[in-house]
Structure 1
Amino acid sequence: MEIRHLQYFITIVEKHTFTNAASALHISQPSLSASIKKLENELGLVLLDRSSREVQLTKEGKILYQEAKKLVNHFEHVENEMKRLKEQGPLELSIGVIESTKYWVPKILARFKGEYKYVRIHLMDILSLTDVEKALSNFDIHLAITNQYINSEEIEVIPIYEEKLVALLPENHPLRHNETLTIEELNQEPFIICKEGFQTRTDILNAFQKAGIKPNIQFEIERFETACRLVEEGLGATVLPENYVKYSETTHFHVKPLEDPNLSRIVYVAFDKNRYLPPLVLRFIALVKAFFEEEQVKE
């Protein structure tokens, strides 16, 4: 039993004659008659009473019409949904994010939801390089916003902005009146740093190494928020991305620019280049790029 033959059968029932049905289906009447005869032969049932000008359903024909209508409607729904998926992709977007994106990702999502009202958004905290690579390779996310540069043939990384790293000092710190700080001035400070596997940790330790000093690491953390709380309590100093601190609601610490011009980081959009990316994913990436192009113009 072919779905095409069921569609023909339904059309005959609803158009009442083979002539009208053939015209609606844009096929010849003999071809339509042959298709319905083939359907009846396959089922071993007479479906239509052809004794009058307008065809009438037999008892078996009425049952088939009711069930075929449901089946064809479902088939057409699935077919249309597959076409929509091909054009738009699934109505969901999964994004891996780092903590410092909290100030700008909601702004882009507001624009995105204005265009894709019914898309469900999944935001997943993905911090380390291993987390990013695993989430992308497992298709847990469509894309990641990360400061990890991923050297992989399967993953494409697009730089979207660069930001400086700044030092945070407790409120009553003796260096609080300095306009800027050097890495050397942080030498003996109880230091708060991200745990191993985080790019920010690598960037900071590289800066200390170039200065020929070793930081006095007292706390290893995963989240910038934890580092801020520790600094507030006077437990040490830390170095964090400028944008994260700029948009932080906390003011119970001092933020100092660092004189090291190389102490910065790049934030990327990363995605699996071998995976089909629906148009809505590509649109989100385009909105991210546009947002930071606008930010550069403002500066």
Structure 2
Amino acid sequence: MELQHLQHLYYFVTVIDHSTFTAAAEKVHISQPSLSTSIKKLEKELGFTLLDRSKRELKLTKEGKILYQEAKKLLIHFDHVSDEMNRLKKEGPLELSVGIIESSKFWVPKVLTKFTGEYADVYIRLLDVLSFKDVENALKNFDIHLAITNQYINNDSIKTIPLYDERLVALLPPSHPLKYKSFITIQDLKNEKLIISKEGFQTREDILNAFRKGGIKPNIHFEIGRFETACDLVEEGLGVTVAPENYVKHMGRTNFHFKRIHDSNISRTVYLAFDTNRYLPPLVDQFILLVKTYFNK
């Protein structure tokens, strides 16, 4: 694609994003007639109309909607590549950005120890990327190279590799009467004040499904975004929660009790996800290989 074509796409996307030719022209620093001419040239090159000019307000045709969506992705990718090339000239190629979930923190440092042994000067960014939307947007916008997530992403451009399954366990306050039981059942949680992840989190759906299968209506009192907050509330005796067993065992806190729920196999799968349409530097490929090797052992 020639740079002139890319510029036309940029003008087109800017017009749609700003809703008017006037505002878009100010944004791209050209005259309104020149901007209009650029869009018409783009339509002529493509062979179909992008804007429905029979309406007073700016409206896309069916073809225009498709081009807008794809052009937006292309321009984001182009900006990312341009930024990356500029960064490479100044700093070199060593950067890794990974989106992680809380429960992965028990093994991620071990993989990073091996990784930094091979890439001693690498700059690493670890970002908390928790909900489905967070993961999808971070990958789509190139905020991260890859994600460690418990969300299965049904997207043709995103590859999702299952790494391991982890059991979800119930966390009880220090003085809770159920602490004396060797295990509990889902029925034991029937009337408990439940602390649960907010909507958009896969763990919430896993827990609510277990309650539905047990014929129980959950008594939800708190919605949270992080397991750490849920644990704080449990320690204060404000309710019970359900969290990944790996996270609970490795967090180093003991002021609560955790019990396996024996009549309900509440578990979740943790995945490694990355965008297959994006160029991934060799060091990212190596990190993926180290993660796979860690769990194959």
Q: TM-score, normalised by structure 2?
A: 0.68
Shift in Å at residue 131 of structure 1?
0.5
**Partner Cα separation in structure 2 for residue 219 and residue 257 of structure 1:** 21
**Structure 1 equivalent of residue 180 of structure 2:** 177
Q: Which amino acid aligns with 1:125?
A: D
Q: Given the alignment, which residue of 259, 275, 283 partners 2:286?
A: 283
Name the CA distance, whole Å, in 1 between partners of 2:159 and 2:295: 19
Which of 196, 200, 210 is residue 199 of structure 2 equivalent to? 196
SS at match of 2:177: coil
| CA-to-aligned-CA distance 1:24-50 (integer Å, 9 cap, x gap) | xxxxxxxxxxxxxxxxxxxxxxxxxxx
Residue 146 of structure 2 aligns with which residue? 143
1:248 and 1:98 mapped to 2: Cα distance?
13
The answer on whether the counterparts of 2:167 and 2:266 sit within 8 Å (CA) in structure 1 is yes
1:269 shift after superposition: 0.3
1:92 aligns with 2:92: no
Matches within 5 A, 1:1-299: 90-294=93-297
Q: Which has the higher mean CA deviation after the structures are superposed, 189-198 or 282-291?
A: 282-291
Q: CA deviation at 1:102?
A: 1.4
1:121 maps to amino acid: I
Q: Matches of 2:293 and 2:265 in 1, distance apart?
A: 26
Q: 1:288 to 1:260 in 2, by over 3 A?
A: farther
SS of the residue corresponding to residue 160 of structure 2 reads: strand
Residue of structure 2 in register with 1:66 after alignment: none
Residues 140-176 of structure 1: CA distance to partner in whole angstroms, max 9, x if unpaired?
A: 1100000001011111100001000000011111111
- Classify 1:260/1:142 alpha carbon distance in 2 versus 1 (closer, same or farther; 3 Å): farther
1 CA distance for matches of 2:144 and 2:171?
33
Deviation at 1:180, TM superposition (A): 0.9
Partner of 1:71: none
Per-residue CA distance 1:36-80 (angstroms, 9 max, x = gap): xxxxxxxxxxxxxxxxxxxxxxxxxxxxxxxxxxxxxxxxxxxxx
Q: Which has the larger radius of gyration?
A: 1
Q: Distance in 2 between matches of 1:138 and 1:276?
A: 13
Matches of 1:293 and 1:256 in 2, distance apart?
28
Letter in 2 for 1:241: P
CA distance in 1, matches of 2:248, 2:288: 25
CA distance in 2, matches of 1:225, 1:131: 18
Paired with 2:272 and 2:126, the residues of 1 have a C-alpha distance of 14
Deviation at 1:261, TM superposition (A): 4.7
Asked if the contact 2:185–2:264 (Cα under 8 Å) also holds between the matched residues in 1, the reply is no
**Pairwise CA distance, 1:260:** 3.6
Which amino acid letter does the alignment assign opposite residue 135 of structure 1? A
Could you tell me the percent identity over the aligned residues? 66
Deviation at 1:218, TM superposition (A): 0.5
1:262 to partner: Cα distance: 2.8
Deviations 1:246-291 (A, max 9, x none): 1011101111011145310000000001111111111101111111
Distance 1:155 1:279 in 2: 18
Alpha-carbon displacement from aligned partner over 1:117-144 (angstroms, at most 9, x marks no partner):
1110011110000010000001111000
Amino acid at match of 1:204: I
Q: What is the TM-score when the length of structure 1 is the normalising length?
A: 0.68
Could you say what secondary structure the match of 2:179 adopts?
Answer: coil
> Aligned AA for 1:263?
I
Query: What SS does structure 1 have at the residue aligned with 2:178?
Result: coil
CA distance in 1 between partners of 2:218 and 2:169 (Å):
16
